[in-house]
């Protein structure tokens, strides 16, 4: 350890490991105080195995495959982030270029939505007053 950052990183790593060990130790201690230690965990595990045997192994294998594929999907996402950034940059440059050309030719080329001109319910027409007859 040569720098303060290295020292703090090391201490924080040790701190996190000790925290996880303390939480795990407390859970084991708490479970050992029960009349049947780990009884609920064993019962839940047996129920899970019975359910898998009844429904078949297809869903279980599919779920394990999804869990195994998750890191690769994450890496693929990270690999595509620069591509998405480049596309956004290209779109921004094209948009600025079009606005610049519009200013040169004297036309406004912004494609803004204005709520006052939306006419979402159609143009309102003036209603003629209804004459009352007796």
Q: What is the pLDDT of residues 38-66, one digit of tens each?
A: 998 999 999 999 998 888 888 888 989 99
37 and 86 share one domain: no
* pTM for this model (two decimals): 0.40
Per-residue pLDDT of 80-132, as tens digits, reads 999 999 999 999 999 888 877 777 666 555 566 666 666 666 656 666 777 77
1 and 52 share one domain: yes
Per-residue pLDDT of 71-86, as tens digits, reads 999 999 999 999 999 9
1 and 50 share one domain: yes
128 belongs to a structural domain: no
Residues 6+ apart with CB under 8 A from 37: 31
86 and 40 share one domain: no
Parent domain of 34: 1-56
What is each CA distance from 23 to 16, 33, 79, 82, 113, in whole angstroms? 11, 16, 36, 39, 55
61 belongs to a structural domain: no
Q: What is the DSSP letter of 33?
A: T
34 and 79 share one domain: no
Residue with tokens 């029960």: 34
Residues 6+ apart with CB under 8 A from 44: none
64 belongs to a structural domain: no
d(CA 14, CA 16): 6
């Amino acid at each position: 350890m040569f720098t303060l950052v290295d020292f703090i990183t090391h201490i924080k790593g040790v701190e996190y490991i000790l925290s996880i060990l303390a939480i795990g130790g407390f859970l084991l201690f708490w479970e050992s105080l029960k009349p049947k230690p780990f009884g609920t965990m064993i019962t839940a595990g047996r129920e899970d195995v019975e359910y898998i045997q009844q429904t078949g192994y297809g869903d279980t294998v599919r779920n394990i495959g999804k869990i195994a594929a998750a890191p690769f999907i994450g890496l693929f996402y990270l690999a595509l982030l620069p591509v998405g950034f480049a596309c956004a940059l290209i779109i921004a440059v094209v948009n600025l270029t079009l606005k610049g050309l519009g200013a040169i030719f004297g036309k406004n080329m912004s494609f803004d939505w204005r709520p006052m001109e939306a006419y979402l319910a159609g143009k309102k027409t003036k209603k003629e007053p209804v004459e009352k007859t007796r």
